[in-house]
């Protein structure tokens, strides 16, 4: 079970709307959805929570690239919604690393050796997803949630973030 909401910062304060992520396939799709939430180039936060096991914050400021924070990358990697946020860049991988792991680069021509290497590479890439937070922990610094506070949030993280932003009432209306 997941919960996702958009918080758009406007002249009048924060406006919230719940959102379905079923039609969102990429981070770019998610950013476009967030930008549609406000007619101006205001700040929009996408808050995603999955069964109190992880949460993510995506911040879109106008046409800038999205900034992302995920509380537990390993837990998020097991979720299709988390996979949207866990880009190669966020995980510190070069784009296409998975393709390189599948190649037999050890110089042997024995197919069995290559298969063993592929299996080792696959488990190695799965282990490359760290347990714990990844991304821009300073994503909400200018909005009143410090890096230290963000990293220490409890299982009620989205409500705590909304409270710090002064948006708890509007978030509660879409929960």
Evaluate the CA torsion angle 95, 101, 105, 111 in order and state its sign. Answer: negative
- Per DSSP, helices labelled H in 64-110 are 73-77, 80-85, 97-102
The two tokens of residue 96 are 């296409």
pLDDT in tens, 14-23: 999 888 888 8
pLDDT in tens, 35-88: 988 878 889 999 999 987 999 999 999 889 999 999 999 999 998 889 889 988
For the sheet with 2-10, list strands across it.
13-18, 2-10, 43-50, 54-61, 67-70, 134-135
The whole-number pLDDT of residue 115 equals: 44
The whole-number pLDDT of residue 2 equals: 87
């Amino acid at each position: 079970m997941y919960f996702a909401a958009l918080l758009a910062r406007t002249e009048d304060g924060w406006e919230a709307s719940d959102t379905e992520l079923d039609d969102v396939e990429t981070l770019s799709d998610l950013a476009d959805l967030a930008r549609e939430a406000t007619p101006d180039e205001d700040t929009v936060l996408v808050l995603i929570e999955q069964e109190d096991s992880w949460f993510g914050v995506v911040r879109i400021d106008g046409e800038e690239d999205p900034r992302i924070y995920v509380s537990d990358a390993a837990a998020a990697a097991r979720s299709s919604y988390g996979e949207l946020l866990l880009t190669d860049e966020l995980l510190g991988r070069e784009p296409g690393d998975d393709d390189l792991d599948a190649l037999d680069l050890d110089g042997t021509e024995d197919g069995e050796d290559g298969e063993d290497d592929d299996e080792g590479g696959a488990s190695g890439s799965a282990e490359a997803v760290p347990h714990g937070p990844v991304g821009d922990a300073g994503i909400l610094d200018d909005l009143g949630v410090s890096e230290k506070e963000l990293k220490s949030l409890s299982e009620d993280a989205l409500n705590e973030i909304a409270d710090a932003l002064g948006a708890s009432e509007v978030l509660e209306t879409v929960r």
